[in-house]
Structure 1
């Protein structure tokens, strides 16, 4: 028998650490090749890590709630000498992080998202609380030769003289992570019954991102608009053959309006490059939809949303929702956004001051759609009214540009035919 050590693999997207959420195996368990052995959380997603070996678990090198650096020992396995475990013994124990795990992690999953974006009137049946179970990463069993290349890696590490060490964080070694602080426990000055929750990878990185965002000179403007005609359009579209069976909501209409309005104010889709003090304009609109999870905020995006017809955009939004519901949002889908839209209206909120997603110049928040007394054709009538909130980076666009973008979005929602004037 020989011992094989499996280090925490590089989970992609430049991430350097992960938190152990749960072990799927125990010391002494017999595991198969590609069997899920652990659930770890990166800054972007919850990931299931498969075993690169067939053998017996000899040691688990971390506890739930502990954060490990990439390359730190994760699991030690005891394998039979000469057994077909996919490992060339001549390579030795010092191996690169297993690429098979990396392949599996490409299917990194985000669990239990709450999709922030649906028509307020449809909040009862909107996917506002989407609970996923975390899809198991499917990895095909390769040949022995392929397993050597894929599971083991490219060869021995450069001998550095020492291995990376575990990097525990304060308060992260307790299991469960939520701990009741009784009076006198570690000098707690508050009363009994206090609980503390160690921030998870997603929530911690979200907090860091929001701190960075707050350092940006950003401005929020508000505009309340009568969207009765927009609501009527949605009702008419629902009966059209091309839209039949598609979920077309205020979010869909607002997303289309934002994409159209950006054509007249393209700098709102650009970003400020801190390293070069340049304004970088991408070739298209990657429209982010803010998604809240119990671990923090994530923003998956729809690539090239500006080139989509409204039926296609409706399908893309629905697909984004279904992907999140099934826990299939990958780290790649959570990066590269250029502008974001969030719907706080599904929670009954009229308006807010959303913080920018770092690296973006604008974020549009949709408030609740309510029937309110509103002046219409020289009379006060009950109309569908909502408030739009637009936060923008004042380094990239100024007040005139931000106001124009918000006005154009509002005009399209109030009178969809006006899209012809700004398209």
Structure 2
């Protein structure tokens, strides 16, 4: 039995996915749960297992093609027996008609009885309709006699049928009306357009004379209005009056208009780009990222605050911990200290770990911190989550960050780890950047950007010294985080990084 496997929804609310690679070919034998292809969604790259056992008949989607969820992507011939076809419905010999076809009696069989005979539909006669003009009136329009007046033949109750084209196509079947208040049966040529030569009126509408004087070359374009001296001036200066914007009364071009047109700078043509041009379709992670940042930037009112922090004490603590046995097998990065400081500071300012629910008209406060870490991958920017980060120790946070980053860069982050965040950290310092104005991840209240860590001149106890300094930038949603709350949170993070011992007092 031939079965088709449709593109599944591997995440929450995904509508499409791109087939990255096929692991099978037509003619291959597959088993249940065998990986047949790898797809890329707006959230992650996912391997699809086969739901059937059998032989691959055809790959319905090419590599690199984006298909909607629910569309078939592969056809597999299984060993299951195909169900017996349903018996055909008996045909009525009397009528001999199938659904949608005309029977012997001329009626068209439908699913709910029988419709009218073909060509039997007629329109109610209109009073006072005049016969159509001779010739081919493909639109089927006819001139109507004056309302309430007698036709030349004295017939008040009949209407001339609409003219039919030679192929039998009744194109419009409409009737043009003549003057309503006229008592003469003659045709009013001011209201009804004359037929084209040969009697062909294909549009059924009256042709209108050009609305303006005809130009000498015979076309019906409008001639610019200008006095003879102005025309001579334009001719001497080589100006086409049709390109001059008039300013005089009634659209008349003046001498000043001609001089202003000459003095106006000519438009500069855009420079032609040299070299080749490369275009790439917007899809996958890039498409999802673009939609997310646009939605956030134009929905949440962003406020960004900056703080320079002396983290010399934190870096010294990092070196001491790395020398201990407990942290010997863990990659302890400065980001782990920042993540721990964020979790501690969020306890004192719960507004940064919240969500603005516009539909419900509520602010949702979360008890746990679902910490997102922005990661740059070959597929684009993704934000995997560390679940319940506020319950983890510094060592557990360091291990979770290391595993999360490695999985993200390999493109194996499951879609479930990319959803449900409450706060995000983006480490722009790894690129040598001091700071930035990060855009809040949609659905969250704030995001912290960590800049480059570098030796910087710093005043310590009234004296200039070289210290290890880092720039922090906090963007928050001003709908639910006030300036006082955002400032206090950023100051708490900075204080913990300046003196890690403060964590013992909170």
The answer to whether the superposition gives a TM-score over 0.5 is yes
Secondary structure (helix, strand or coil) at the match of 1:241 reads coil
CA distance in 1, matches of 2:497, 2:60: 55
2:451·2:472 contact (CA, 8 Å) conserved in 1?
yes
Q: Equivalent residue for 1:180?
A: none
| CA shift in 2, pair 1:244/1:192, >3 Å | closer
Q: Work out which of the residue numbers 270, 288, 293 in structure 2 matches 1:205.
A: 288
* 8 A contact 2:46–2:412 mirrored in 1: no
How far apart are the structure 2 equivalents of 1:81 and 1:329?
Answer: 36
- Of 378, 388, 394, which aligns to 1:310? 394
Of the three residues 276, 293, 315, the one matched with 1:193 is 276
The alignment status of 1:399 with 2:483, answered yes or no, reads yes
SS at match of 2:471: strand
How does 1:11-410 map onto structure 2 within 5 Å? 11-81=10-80, 89=82, 193-215=276-298, 216-325=300-409, 327-410=411-494
Pair 1:25–1:364, CA change in 2 (3 A): same
Gaps spanning 5+ residues in structure 2: where?
86-271
By how many angstroms is 1:414 displaced? Answer: 0.8
Residue 297 of structure 1: how far off its partner (Å): 1.5
Q: How far did 1:242 drift?
A: 2.9
1:341–1:364 Cα contact (<8 Å) kept:
yes
Whether the aligned pair in 2 keeps the contact of 1:200 and 1:295 (CA below 8 Å) is no
**1:326 Cα deviation (Å)?**
5.3
Could you state the TM-score of these two structures normalised by the residue count of structure 2?
0.60
Q: Distance in 1 between matches of 2:495 and 2:354?
A: 22
Could you say if the C-alpha distance between residues 338 and 81 of structure 1 is closer, same or farther in structure 2, counting changes exceeding 3 Å?
closer
C-alpha deviation, 1:307, in angstroms: 1.6
Count of aligned pairs: 319
Secondary structure of 1:312 counterpart: helix
Instruction: Tell me which structure has the larger Cα radius of gyration.
Output: 2
Structure with the bigger RCO (C-alpha within 8 Å, sep 6+) is 1
Q: Do the aligned partners of residues 79 and 265 (structure 1) sit closer, same or farther apart at CA in structure 2, a change above 3 Å counting?
A: same
Q: Using the TM superposition, give the Cα deviation of residue 235 of structure 1 relative to its aligned residue in structure 2, in angstroms.
A: 1.1
Partner deviation per Cα, 1:55-95 (whole Å, 9 max, x = no partner): 3322222223322222111111223455xxxxxx5599xxx
2-side partners of 1:44 and 1:369: how far apart? Answer: 31
Deviations 1:126-175 (A, max 9, x none): xxxxxxxxxxxxxxxxxxxxxxxxxxxxxxxxxxxxxxxxxxxxxxxxxx
Instruction: For residue 367 of structure 1, give the secondary structure of its aligned residue in structure 2.
Output: strand
Could you tell me how far apart the structure 2 residues matched to 1:78 and 1:248 are? 53
In structure 2, how many angstroms separate the alpha carbons of the residues matched to 1:66 and 1:192?
A: 28
Match of 1:170 in 2: none
Name the stretch that deviates more: 233-242 or 210-219.
Answer: 233-242
CA distance 1:81–1:270, shift in 2 (3 Å): closer
Give the secondary structure class of the aligned counterpart of 2:348.
coil
Q: Is the 8 A contact 1:367 1:387 kept in 2?
A: yes
Report how far residue 327 of structure 1 moved. Answer: 4.5
Classify 1:374/1:25 alpha carbon distance in 2 versus 1 (closer, same or farther; 3 Å). same
Judging changes above 3 Å, is the alpha-carbon distance between structure 1 residues 31 and 192 closer, same or farther for their aligned structure 2 residues?
Answer: farther
- Aligned with 1:255: secondary structure? helix
Distance 1:366 1:241 in 2: 28
1:298 Cα deviation from its structure 2 partner: 1.2
Higher helix share: 1
2:56–2:74 CA contact under 8 A, matched in 1: yes
Aligned residue for 2:441, secondary structure, equals coil
1:41–1:200: 8 Å Cα contact kept in structure 2?
A: no
